[in-house]
Amino acid sequence: MSFKNLLTFVSAAAALTGTYAALTRRVACPDGKNTATNAACCQLFAVRDDLQQNLFHGGQCTAEAHESLRLTFHDAIAISPALEAQGKFGGGGADGSIAIFSEIETAFHPNIGLDEIVALQKPFIARHNLSHADFIQFAGAIGASNCPGAPQLAAFVGRKDATQPAPDGLVPEPFHTPDQIFARLADASQGEFDPILTVWLLTAHTVAAANDVDPTKSGLPFDSTPGLWDTQFFVETQLRGTLFPGKGGNQGEVESPLPGEIRLQSDHTIARDPRTACEWQSFVDNQPKAQAMFQFVFHDMSILGQNIDDLVDCTEVVPIPPPPQGRTHLPAGLTMNDVEQACAETPFPTLPTDPGPRTSVAPV
């Protein structure tokens, strides 16, 4: 399905959802303040307000918001029908296992550093009558909603919690090859997440940072605007790398174009892989696509391993994110000559360059 057709479908679905909600009798929630299309969603209003005030610093696109979104992927992607076909346990997907069995799963190499956000979230789970599985995905959706330009992400309740930890080896690593990553995501999604949809999932890196790739540095952003859901990530991963933000030589890291910015090897190679290079470039200066495509794949990722017929859609509880800010640009000090274009089919978009001294990226 082309982007234009899919965007039309997503927009139409959103319009129909809004119309349906407006015409459907709403349930008065016990808090006396809110109403919902389904009583099962009423509990989420208190969870949302607690998260916004006490984890996300009054509704900010902070490191806690970034890590909460990261946690959704690391929990959900840990499922393997291929292992199940071999008679082995393949994990439960979006089942909360990374929090329920945190001492086991946060010790897995790709999950290093997630013990901190898991520990921060646990008191919230204890305060509210919500499953670990539902909470992780809901917290990620709420965190993302604080980032200007983000899409409104799906929220469901009714997932079944894990009864055993996921096996190790199911979360992609930044040093994995594109072939390894594409195969892993295809397995987890029973073929849905192909190389193109893998690029869509990586849109989340627009508000992401690394804490443990370089052991000497933490909070290293993947682009120069980590507080904004924009397309700078797709621009800056295609710029020529010239330096490391720290000592360099770390597994899964390659040179980045800006002081303070880290580039994952996996982002670098997928941006230049012939199967994905043109899709990657197509996100540059295309804010509607950066919103719609991630909204689409997050919906499906967030219910991996679950039966959607058993779930209640509570997306209405997720705030509409603030509008986009700024413009797509080349960082100050760089020019179009610094672009390493990998897509041979279409020209790289012409972008303005920020004025002033060379951009330097602060940690988050």
Which positions ≥6 away from 323 have C-beta within 8 Å? 148, 149
CA distances from 303 to 25, 82, 295, 325, 358 (A): 27, 18, 13, 30, 42
Q: Report the DSSP pairing between strands 312-313 and 156-157.
A: antiparallel
Which positions ≥6 away from 79 have C-beta within 8 Å? 90, 91, 92, 93, 166, 170, 188, 304, 305
Q: How many whole angstroms separate alpha carbon 343 and alpha carbon 279?
A: 8
Of the residues 66, 74, 132, 299, only one is catalytic, namely 74
Which of 237, 127, 98 has the alpha carbon at shortest distance from 174?
237
Judged on CB neighbours under 10 Å (0-12, 13-18, 19+), 120 is middle
- Which residue is associated with the tokens 């295309």? 286
- Which residue is associated with the tokens 């539902």? 134
Which positions ≥6 away from 110 have C-beta within 8 Å? 74, 171, 172, 173
Kind and range of the H or E element at 253? strand 253-254
DSSP codes, 154-208: P-EE-PPPPSSPPPTT-S--TTS-HHHHHHHHHHHTTT-S-HHHHHHHGGGGGG-
Residue 168 sits at φ, ψ, to 5 deg, of -70, 160
Cβ neighbours, 10 Å, residue 182: 22
Query: Would you mind telling me the total number of residues written for the chain in this entry?
Result: 364
Instruction: Give catalytic status of residue 128 as yes or no.
Output: no
Cβ neighbours, 10 Å, residue 16: 10
Where in the sequence numbering do the catalytic residues fall?
74
